[in-house]
Structure 1
Amino acid sequence: MGKDAASFSGYRAFKFIGFAICPQLMKLLDIGIFSKKLQNFFRNTIKETIKIREEKQIVRPDMIHLLLEARKGRLKYEDSMDNMDAGFAVVEESELGKTQKKQKVVITDEDIAALAAGFFLAGFDTVSSAISFLAYELAINPDVQNKLFDEISKAPKDSNGKIKYETLLGMKYLDMVVSESLRKWPPAFITDRISVKSFTIEPESDNENPLYLEKGSQLWIPVLALQRDPKYYPNPDKFDPERFSDENKSNIKPFTYLPFGAGPRNCIGSRFALLENKLLITEILRKFEIISTEKTLIPLESSKTIFNILPDNGVWVALKRRSDYC
């Protein structure tokens, strides 16, 4: 069901564009992006979970528990004691989310089902795409892979041979590699915003005209185009983690790097997604070398039939067991 929900090919891609361009018409015609079967599956699964938890007093530290606590008015913002740098790509929390609203918000089971399903679906396809592109770049850039393996092999480990959370976040070259992969292959190649007031974008050159935006205008921000623009990233098609070194990352212009968006509507799962990617690639490289095969497309060509940047036939690499695994 997750795979079905994450597919935006064919008719669903047109419905997605329809909601972006004229949502009122789509609602009037009662056209949904997802089928009733898909909607009911996620709705019923989550509502049944809520019912069982409340009946049997089950508590689990997850998204549904947080939403149930919010419904009871017991959820408050807490400053995290973890001040570790989670990486260049992570987005900062907005101050708007830290303030307590005075008005009481009614949260229904339907709201919880929609939010929890949205949280699941937002990370279902994006994380798998991100790790696929990261594995691809390491396969065709063995010099980068060897340098990363060297950092991983030298990282301190506990008595069970596991790399600790703090150590993982402190690995600088790993963060550089992941950040560069997200630059070249952002999981969401566009993002959107709605203007909250009328605004004029003034021209920057003589051959441009002012662009007037009315209040309520929907804007599409081309994340992929920004992050592949040679004006901001010289030789943009080259996979170069050094762009994100301590010496170079200060040169990156604000709002030209948006793999998780920015501002109050940024991705709330950025820290989790980065941790997943870093942990996955670290555990793979400890025991395997990622190599290209005869099926590996060089360069990759994005599909022209689906609403994302994945190739039609997927991303192909192979794993070769290391004799010197760490």
Structure 2
Amino acid sequence: MGFMGYELACNPDVQQKLYEEILAMEEDLNGKTLTYEKLQSMKYMDQVVCEVLRKWPPAPVTDRTCVKDYELEVDGVKFTIEKGDNCMIPIWGMHHDIAYFPNPEKFDPERFSDENKDKIEEYTYLPFGVGPRNCIGSRFALMEVKSIFYYMLLNFKIMKTEKTPIPLEFVKVPVGLKVEKGIWVALEPR
């Protein structure tokens, strides 16, 4: 949620487009409560959340245990990953690799539009992992962040302040991402 607030403050055009989608949904709801199905139908909200998770993955690296021997060849070098070997999956590295995501430091929700999402190479976007060992709480986390930002943006504009760090600087920690001096944004009532 912190990274999403940061990106919306730094990208007011994205925030405005998302706000307009929220206003359209409010009009469609006509005073009724926001439902799971209605929130799921918000395409731009999903694009923004997906791009936040690409740029700032909750787990920058994950691991898997190899279940059978694999022979691989990379750049003419053959090697074997043996059954039982632990393999590190560099999620941050893949999400910021120009081979998979052109201009990876740019916050661009259009990467996940209906027109563009099929261009994302399979298994290069892994914010919650993939397969039978993916994050069991991913659906809950996605609904939580979408509903929080729905109501937040309905009532507030997220703004940069003099304390907003640009670019973000990170503390070196063994797991996850920790921003040096925190993420600072302001909320302005609409």
| Interval containing the TM-score (normalised by the shorter chain) | over 0.9
- What is the aligned partner in structure 2 of residue 146 from structure 1? 16
TM alignment of 1:279-318, pairs within 5 A: 279-305=147-173, 307-318=175-186
Structure with the bigger percentage of strand? 2
> Which consecutive segments of 4 or more residues in structure 1 shift more than 4 A?
none
- Distance in 1 between residues matched to 2:102 and 2:146, nearest whole Å: 26
- Distance in 2 between residues matched to 1:139 and 1:148, nearest whole Å: 12
- Distance in 1 between residues matched to 2:156 and 2:79, nearest whole Å: 52
- What is the aligned partner in structure 2 of residue 157 from structure 1? 29
2:100 pairs with 1:229: no
- Distance in 2 between residues matched to 1:221 and 1:249, nearest whole Å: 22
Unmatched segments (≥5 aa) in structure 2: none
Contact kept in structure 2, 1:194 and 1:217, CA below 8 Å: yes
- What is the aligned partner in structure 2 of residue 174 from structure 1? 45
- Distance in 1 between residues matched to 2:96 and 2:177, nearest whole Å: 13
**TM-aligned CA deviation for residue 305 of structure 1:** 4.1
**TM-aligned CA deviation for residue 164 of structure 1:** 2.5
- Distance in 1 between residues matched to 2:168 and 2:114, nearest whole Å: 29
2:66 pairs with 1:198: no
SS at 1:285 equivalent? helix
RCO higher in structure (CA 8 A, sep ≥6): 2
Matched AA of 2:164 = T
Matched AA of 1:146 = Q
- What is the aligned partner in structure 2 of residue 251 from structure 1? 119
Identical columns (%): 52
**TM-aligned CA deviation for residue 158 of structure 1:** 4.8
**TM-aligned CA deviation for residue 163 of structure 1:** 2.3
Give CA-to-partner distance per residue, 1:144-186, whole Å, 9 cap, x none: 00000000011122535x3222111100000000000000001
- Distance in 1 between residues matched to 2:106 and 2:189, nearest whole Å: 27
* Bigger Rg, which one: 1
- Distance in 2 between residues matched to 1:159 and 1:243, nearest whole Å: 32
SS at 1:315 equivalent? coil
- Distance in 1 between residues matched to 2:69 and 2:17, nearest whole Å: 49
Contact kept in structure 2, 1:158 and 1:164, CA below 8 Å: no
SS at 1:261 equivalent? coil
Unmatched segments (≥5 aa) in structure 1: 1-130
**TM-aligned CA deviation for residue 274 of structure 1:** 0.5
Matched AA of 2:10 = I
**TM-aligned CA deviation for residue 295 of structure 1:** 1.0
Match of 1:185 among 36, 56, 75: 56
Structure with the bigger percentage of helix? 1
**TM-aligned CA deviation for residue 307 of structure 1:** 2.8
TM alignment of 1:84-95, pairs within 5 A: none
**TM-aligned CA deviation for residue 312 of structure 1:** 2.3
> In structure 2, do the counterparts of structure 1 residues 242 and 287 end up closer, same or farther at CA, with 3 Å as the change threshold?
same
RMSD between aligned alpha carbons? Answer: 1.2
> In structure 2, do the counterparts of structure 1 residues 210 and 307 end up closer, same or farther at CA, with 3 Å as the change threshold?
same
Matched AA of 1:159 = G
TM-score (norm 1): 0.56
Matched AA of 2:72 = I
Number of corresponding residues: 188
- Distance in 2 between residues matched to 1:200 and 1:214, nearest whole Å: 8
**TM-aligned CA deviation for residue 306 of structure 1:** 5.4
- Distance in 1 between residues matched to 2:105 and 2:127, nearest whole Å: 16
TM alignment of 1:1-326, pairs within 5 A: 131-155=1-25, 156-160=28-32, 162-203=33-74, 205-206=75-76, 209-305=77-173, 307-322=175-190
- Distance in 2 between residues matched to 1:229 and 1:297, nearest whole Å: 23
